[in-house]
């Protein structure tokens, strides 16, 4: 099978979401107005329904990891105040360099008259300047919207666009800047001890965008509608899985349902989907898996674990995880002592093709008879591996195994 030919129609990403009008965007709060649940850091307090930076305030970041999104918030400055919005922040180091910083600054204050152009409000620190003259007077609330979609960045202030930037172009111009290369991370406030207040912080997460017409023309059918759990088996009152804006999320908390199963059964098929880790995991010791499927010693990893079940069987699960061996392994077959060495080797990834934690991965799974092929981010990691005894037909399942995970663009073609 020519995997490249099948993947090609869905490989092109664009920097807009077709059919998703601004008024149709579903958002959720990142701040509850009462406490700092969902955030971590020091030097910030909650006053009158707002997050306020104190003289001790430095970095305050979300516990979640984000990739593509629309972020809305309001902020209020005090005279001469300086703060920043950190995006794609890995959680360590100087957020302006390990991630990126969008300036939040009283651009009108005389002490800032000699700043570089990128240091004024809205500027992408050290890289791109924003249009000035849109800030409201100090002491009034401003509304800001930041849209991140792959390499595209847009900043709107009080209803006016003040910055557009292509992060790929910025990376080429600033090759020493590590943060501009990143495509996911925490969101944070990067304080300097000045009093700045933030409220009404909301986010609408967006999927990586596929060429839907090309996918349909290639014979694929969408099995996740982007807004609901229609077509998937689940209790009516489930709160574990949520769908909005084309993203299917499990936030990693335990509940009454762990896995989702498609209502329809499939025999031979090719499944394509996008997935990413949206939270961090604990450090654990796990087996150090070799490319031949054997285990040699132990390795410390950040435990992130999920998978895609094939034909209704938990044994025929294509693993998604953060192990050094990489995603794509069929754990149930590799660890089955009754399987011959060639089967164990076949279901072990030939290479590690996972994107960094938080970024979207694109996976293609083909199961024809007993033969399995898995392509991850354009790399074939499993090729014609045998799954002896795999059921002839059954539903597709999305596993939740304790880690916060997002799925999107789930398409299937029956063969």
List, for residues 121-165, the tens digit of each pLDDT value.
Answer: 999 999 999 999 999 999 999 999 999 999 999 999 999 999 999
pLDDT value at residue 256: 66
Residue 118: CA count within 13 A, CB half-sphere = 12
Q: How confident is the model at residue 262 (pLDDT cuts 50, 70, 90)?
A: very high
Q: What is the pLDDT of residues 89-126, one digit of tens each?
A: 999 999 999 999 999 999 999 999 999 999 999 999 99
Instruction: Round the average pLDDT of the chain to a whole number and report it.
Output: 93
Better-predicted residue by pLDDT, 26 or 253 = 26
How far, in Å, CA of 241 to CA of 179, rounded?
31
226: CATH: 2.60.120.560
Q: Which domain holds residue 409?
A: 3-15+211-414
pLDDT value at residue 19: 40
Q: What is the pLDDT of residues 161-183, one digit of tens each?
A: 999 999 999 999 999 999 999 99
Diameter of the chain by CA atoms?
A: 76
Q: How confident is the model at residue 17 (pLDDT cuts 50, 70, 90)?
A: very low
**Does residue 16 have a pLDDT over 50?**
no
Q: Residue 317: name the closest of 333, 302, 304 by CA.
A: 333
What token pair was written down for 364? 């293609």
Q: Average pLDDT, stretch 181-204?
A: 98
How far, in Å, CA of 118 to CA of 271, rounded?
45
Domain boundary among 146, 178, 205: 205
Gyration radius from the chain CA atoms: 23
Q: How confident is the model at residue 51 (pLDDT cuts 50, 70, 90)?
A: very high
Q: What is the pLDDT of residues 214-253, one digit of tens each?
A: 999 999 999 999 999 999 998 677 778 999 999 999 988 8
* Sign of the dihedral through C-alpha 38, 196, 94, 127: positive
CA 252 → CA 32, 36, 296, 328, distances in Å?
Answer: 19, 19, 30, 21
The H or E element that residue 208 is part of is: none
Regarding whether 276 and 140 lie in a shared domain, the answer is no
**Does residue 12 have a pLDDT over 50?**
no
- Show the DSSP H helices in 204-361 as ranges: 212-217, 331-334, 341-346
Q: What is the pLDDT of residues 54-93, one digit of tens each?
A: 999 999 999 999 999 999 999 999 999 999 999 999 999 9
pLDDT value at residue 203: 98
The H or E element that residue 116 is part of is: none
Q: What is the pLDDT of residues 319-342, one digit of tens each?
A: 999 999 999 999 999 999 999 999
Q: How confident is the model at residue 258 (pLDDT cuts 50, 70, 90)?
A: confident
Regarding whether 241 and 97 lie in a shared domain, the answer is no
Number of domains in the chain: 2
How far, in Å, CA of 77 to CA of 194, rounded?
9
Regarding whether 163 and 112 lie in a shared domain, the answer is yes
Q: How confident is the model at residue 23 (pLDDT cuts 50, 70, 90)?
A: low
Regarding whether 153 and 236 lie in a shared domain, the answer is no
Regarding whether 239 and 124 lie in a shared domain, the answer is no
pLDDT value at residue 210: 83
How far, in Å, CA of 303 to CA of 403, rounded?
8
Regarding whether 287 and 245 lie in a shared domain, the answer is yes
Regarding whether 231 and 164 lie in a shared domain, the answer is no
What token pair was written down for 195? 């009093």
pLDDT value at residue 394: 98
Q: Average pLDDT, stretch 41-48?
A: 97
Regarding whether 243 and 176 lie in a shared domain, the answer is no
Bridge partner list, 394: 266
Regarding whether 362 and 262 lie in a shared domain, the answer is yes
Query: How far from each other are the two terminal CA atoms of the chain, in whole angstroms?
Result: 11
Domain boundary among 151, 179, 205: 205
Q: Residue 233: name the closest of 266, 254, 260 by CA.
A: 260
Q: Are strands 196-205 and 69-77 parallel, antiparallel or unpaired?
A: antiparallel
Those residues with Cβ within 8 angstroms of residue 114's Cβ, 6 or more apart along the chain or in another chain: none
Regarding whether 216 and 95 lie in a shared domain, the answer is no
Q: Average pLDDT, stretch 300-308?
A: 96
pLDDT value at residue 22: 52
Domain boundary among 155, 189, 205: 205
Regarding whether 191 and 223 lie in a shared domain, the answer is no
Q: How confident is the model at residue 372 (pLDDT cuts 50, 70, 90)?
A: very high
**Does residue 1 have a pLDDT over 80?**
no
Regarding whether 302 and 242 lie in a shared domain, the answer is yes
pLDDT above 70: percentage of residues in the chain: 93
């Amino acid at each position: 099978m020519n995997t490249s030919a099948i993947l090609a129609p869905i490989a092109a990403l664009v920097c807009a979401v077709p059919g998703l009008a601004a008024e149709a965007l579903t958002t959720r709060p990142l701040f509850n107005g009462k406490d700092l649940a969902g955030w971590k850091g020091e030097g910030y307090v909650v006053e009158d329904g707002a997050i306020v930076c104190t003289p001790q305030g430095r970095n305050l970041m979300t516990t979640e990891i984000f990739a593509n999104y629309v972020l809305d918030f309001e902020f209020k400055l005090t005279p001469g105040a300086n703060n920043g919005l950190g995006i794609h922040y890995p959680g360590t180091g100087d957020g302006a360099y390990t991630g990126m910083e969008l300036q939040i600054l009283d651009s009108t204050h005389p002490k800032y008259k000699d700043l570089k152009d990128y240091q004024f409000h809205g500027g992408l620190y050290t890289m791109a300047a924003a249009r000035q003259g849109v800030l409201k007077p100090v002491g009034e609330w401003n509304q800001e919207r930041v849209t991140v979609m792959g390499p595209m960045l847009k900043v709107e202030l009080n209803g006016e666009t003040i910055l557009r930037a292509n992060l790929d172009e910025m990376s080429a111009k600033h090759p020493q800047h590590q943060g501009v290369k990143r495509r996911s991370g925490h969101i944070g406030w990067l304080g300097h001890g000045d009093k700045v207040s933030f409220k009404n912080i909301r986010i609408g997460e967006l999927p990586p965008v596929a060429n839907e017409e090309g996918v349909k023309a290639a014979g694929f059918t969408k099995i996740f509608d982007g807004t609901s759990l229609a077509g998937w088996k689940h209790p009516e009152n489930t709160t574990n899985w949520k769908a909005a804006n084309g993203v299917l999320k499990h936030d990693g908390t335990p509940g009454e349902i762990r896995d989702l199963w498609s209502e329809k059964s499939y025999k031979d098929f090719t499944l394509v989907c996008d997935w990413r880790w949206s939270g961090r995991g604990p450090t654990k010791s796990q087996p150090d898996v070799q490319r031949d499927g054997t285990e040699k010693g132990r390795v410390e990893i950040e435990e992130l674990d999920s998978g895609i079940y094939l034909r209704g069987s938990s044994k025929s699960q294509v693993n998604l995880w953060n192990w050094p061996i990489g995603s794509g392994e069929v754990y149930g077959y590799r660890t089955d002592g009754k399987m011959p060495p060639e089967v164990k080797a076949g279901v072990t990834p030939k290479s590690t093709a996972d994107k960094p934690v938080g970024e979207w991965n694109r996976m293609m799974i083909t199961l024809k008879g007993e033969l399995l092929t898995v392509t991850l981010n354009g790399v074939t990691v499993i090729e014609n591996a045998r799954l002896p005894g795999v059921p002839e037909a059954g539903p597709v399942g999305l596993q939740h195994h304790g880690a916060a995970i997002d799925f999107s663009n789930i398409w299937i073609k029956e063969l």
